[in-house]
Amino acid sequence: GSVDSVAVELAIVPAPSITAIAVSSSPTMGRPLRLVATVDGVGPFTYEWLFNGSPIVGNTSAATNTLILPVIMSDDAGDYSCRVTNVAGFATSNPATLTVNKAVATVTLGALDFVYDGAAHATTATTNPANLNVVITYDGNLDAPVNAGSYAVVATIEDANNTGTAAGVLTIAKAPASV
């Protein structure tokens, strides 16, 4: 007898592979950030972004190759990875560790010129953004000076999300001689 045969073409689809996780910019507090997964393989693909090993929920971009964090904060620091799936299987990227840099705030010193009157003379500091905690030192000390002289002033922001400093010289002039 004869046997009829049919030629069959078999296409083997490999599981995807992730070639890179790219970060769009230096991660700074209060700024947006994008993480992009570059994938090799045969699509269609599905994407799932993970934060510290758990799926990211509530962010629609976590189901795309580009994860968008519109305003990063200190609690966004951690490990990000992407799981990509096609008909043949899945691949999960190595984690990309995100360190969030503090936002730079400005510090402006207040009055720095005084006349000796026997009282301590402290300067003030304002910040932008407003109302950040500032520590002011005078020649390295927290106590405001009393005596006539010049004192190096450093005002430093102490805040989890912001950084900034300002420096100046506070001068206490000798009191005018009384007649």
pLDDT digits (tens, 9 = 90+) for 99-144: 888 889 999 999 999 999 999 999 999 999 999 999 999 999 999 9
Would you state the pLDDT for residue 3?
A: 72
Summarised one tens digit per residue, pLDDT across range 134-157 is 999 999 999 999 999 999 999 999
Please, where are the H alpha helices in 11-101? none
Question: Quick check: helix, strand or coil at residue 62?
Answer: helix
Spatial distance between the Cα atoms of 143 and 119, rounded to a whole number of angstroms: 12
Would you state the pLDDT for residue 74?
A: 85
At CA 173, angle to CA 134 and CA 114, rounded to 5?
40
